[in-house]
Amino acid sequence: MSYTEQMENAVSAFRALLKEQLDRTEKMKNAAPAVDYAKKEHIRIGICGGDGIGPIIVREAQRVLSFLLQEEIEKGRIELFEIEGLTIENRLEKKEPVPSDVLAAIKTCDVLLKGPTTTPKGGTMESANVALRRELDLYANVRPVVVAEEGIDWIFYRENTEGEYVLGSRGIEIEGALAMDFKVTTDLGTRRIARAAFEYAKNNGKKNVAIVTKANIMKKTDGNFTAICHEVAKEYPDITAEDWYIDIMAANLVNPAIRSRFEVFVLPNLYGDIITDEAAQIQGGVGTAGSANVGDAYAMFEAVHGSAPRMIEEGIGEYANPSSILKAVEMLLRHIALADKADKLASAMQICGETEKKVVVTGDKNGATCKEYADYVMETLQKIS
Ligand code: IPM
Ligand code: MG
């Protein structure tokens, strides 16, 4: 095809994308208010194993969850519902990032505990994570990072449904000449993530929200993101809103002289993706951080790390560290208004992972297995109850 023909095709593709994104903002206007779990009579928790080490760590997380929720499960208030088919094999076979029957099953749940899912590099197959975040409108990716001995208590509010991700698999290419991807920031999409971050700050006694962008370069998208965050900030006069650029913030996080003064971060999708891995590493590695994907209707809880196919190839999958998915379980419990159970799990994990360390997972055969660590967490839970 000639360049002119390719350009014409690109322009019509772009028009369709614009229309679709405008339609998405219309839908946001009609969103229902967030579910109040404290008042909900029945809660269904979906469990998806995922790929690679996913089924191994999720199996253990499910054991811990059943243990903590024994009473609620017996009474029928809470139900754990296993969902099959969110595997790379099934997704490739069905040619869908989340096969439609799996998505339908997920939508019958209130919240989801999900193992990591493999994303094929290149090609057109979208990441299952990205598809789920979009399909369930999980607009806030909430990632806490704590290093108690240094006074670090960070929480990241990463915008989770737009930015560089929403059209990430639908860029335009003029073959042999150029390629373009698109970044989308909507006013409503920014407003709701900003509100989530400031509400968190207000409800948890935090005084500072860092708005992290690259608005000096991405003038439209990040420019609007910053401006809207500041508009929202005006409704929270006791909280300081500070502007930071992502590059210097990446440096700040490895600067022990100043890093503990940051509290809450709000940021567009891709910067949030990158900096939360950096932050998790400061806490002890991506294997240690939990991740909540929260919307008004649904929420999904997962480990920050990937499916680690290498561990499976090397036959050491059973030695995977369940700490990250257990943190996700803690966040899930907090989300469904069971803060006492979440606190209990947090204390047990603190004892197992930081103070006592009787069983240590290294991710290799010289360490404990995932199951041994989960047993240790459950024994500890029994002792502190
Ligand atoms: C994350 C992951 C995902 C992302 C991948 C698996 C698509 O890195 O949850 O941070 O980029 O958001
Ligand atoms: Mg990431």
Q: What is the per-residue pLDDT across 138-174, written as a single tens digit (0 to 9) for each? A: 999 999 999 989 999 999 999 999 999 999 889 999 9
Closest-lying ligand to the alpha carbon of 116?
1
In a domain, 362, yes or no: yes
Query: How far is the C-alpha of 204 from the C-alpha of 235, rounded, in Å?
Result: 16
Which ligand is closest to the CA of 129, given by its number?
Answer: 1
Q: Is residue 55 included in any domain, yes or no?
A: yes
Q: Domain of residue 122: give its range.
A: 31-138+295-385
Report CA 272 to chain centroid distance, whole Å. 10
Q: What does the pLDDT read at residue 385? A: 72
Ligand at shortest distance from the CA of 161: 1
Residue type, 381: L
Whether 276 is in a domain gets the answer no
Is there a domain that residue 178 lies in? no
Domain membership flag for residue 118: yes
Q: Which residues surround ligand 2, an ion (CB under 5 A)?
A: 273
Mutate to test the pocket of ligand 1, among 129, 164, 294, 327 (most ligand atoms within 8 A of CB): 129
Cβ of 222 less than 6 Å from ligand 1: no
In 3D, which of 342, 274, 313, 343 has the Cα closest to residue 111?
A: 342
From ligand 1's centre to the CA of 130, what distance in Å? Answer: 8
pLDDT the model gives residue 123: 76
Given a contact cutoff of 8 angstroms between Cβ atoms, the answer to whether 275 and 267 are in contact is yes
Please tell me the predicted confidence (pLDDT) of residue 305.
87
For residue 269, the model assigns a pLDDT of 98
Enumerate residue ranges in the chain where pLDDT < 70: none
Q: Which residue puts its alpha carbon closest to atom 8 of ligand 1?
A: 273
Please work out whether the CB of residue 273 comes within 6 Å of at least one atom of ligand 1.
yes
Can you tell me whether residue 173 is helix, strand or coil?
strand
Cα–Cα distance, 324 to 303 (Å, whole number): 5
pLDDT for the residue numbered 164: 95
- Supply 291's token pair: 């991740």
pLDDT at 158: 98
Is position 126 within any domain?
Answer: yes
When divided into structural domains, the chain yields a total of: 1
- Integer Cα distance of 340 and 338 in angstroms: 6
The answer to whether position 80 is within a domain reads yes
Q: What is the per-residue pLDDT for 277?
A: 93
Question: Quick check: is 211 in a domain?
Answer: no
CATH of the domain at 370: 3.40.718.10
Query: Rounded to the nearest whole angstrom, what is the distance from the C-alpha of residue 304 to the centroid of ligand 2?
Result: 7
In the chain, DSSP assigns E strands to 43-48, 78-83, 111-114, 140-147, 152-159, 172-174, 178-180, 208-213, 240-245, 264-267, 290-294, 299-303
User: Residue 176 is encoded by which pair of tokens?
Assistant: 């042999």
